[in-house]
Amino acid sequence: MGKKQKCPTCGSADIHISRVRSFLDHLLILWGLFPARCDNCSARFRVRAVRLSSMFYTQCPRCLRQDLSTWDLRHYHATLWMRVRMLFGARRWRCEVCRCNFLSLRPRKEKYVRPAGRPTSGEASGMSGNPV
């Protein structure tokens, strides 16, 4: 989610995307409003996950991130329904943060870039692997 949303009941920032329950939830998702639940007070409410300019790009169904990578059929199991959707042009996307593999007809907004790793203990102390 773009900026950190807060619970309208208790003000907590500990929220997660909730399960879609009704036809109205499905319709509101088309306009970018997702059902959410507070982890502290269990209040259910809706959050705007993306800006209107980003609505035409795919997003992770779990965490709503838009920086995605792809997944390979050799490494992950695709159900029969997933394979049928791939025949009709659905693309394979993977959210590296929550490790969710999913399909979408929409393009990704940006490619996932792995954060730079921390230096090893030898590099951090200035020691190299080569003796002087």
Q: What is the chain's mean pLDDT, rounded? A: 80
Domain boundaries, the chain: 1-49, 52-113
Q: How many Å apart are CA 101 and CA 95, to the nearest integer?
A: 7
pLDDT, tens only, 71-124: 998 988 889 999 999 999 999 999 888 888 999 988 888 888 887 765 554 555
Read off the pTM.
Answer: 0.54
Closest Cα partner for 51 from 62, 64, 61, 40? 64
Tell whether the torsion through CA atoms of 123, 125, 129 and 132 is positive or negative.
positive
Closest Cα partner for 67 from 14, 109, 5, 26? 109
Closest Cα partner for 24 from 10, 35, 37, 39? 35
Place of tokens 């319709």: 27
Burial of 26 (0-12, 13-18, 19+ CB in 10 A): exposed
Neighbours of 8 (CB within 10 A): 12
CA atoms within 13 A on the CB side of 63: 14
pLDDT, tens only, 71-81: 998 988 889 99
Which pLDDT band holds residue 1 (cuts at 50, 70, 90)?
very low
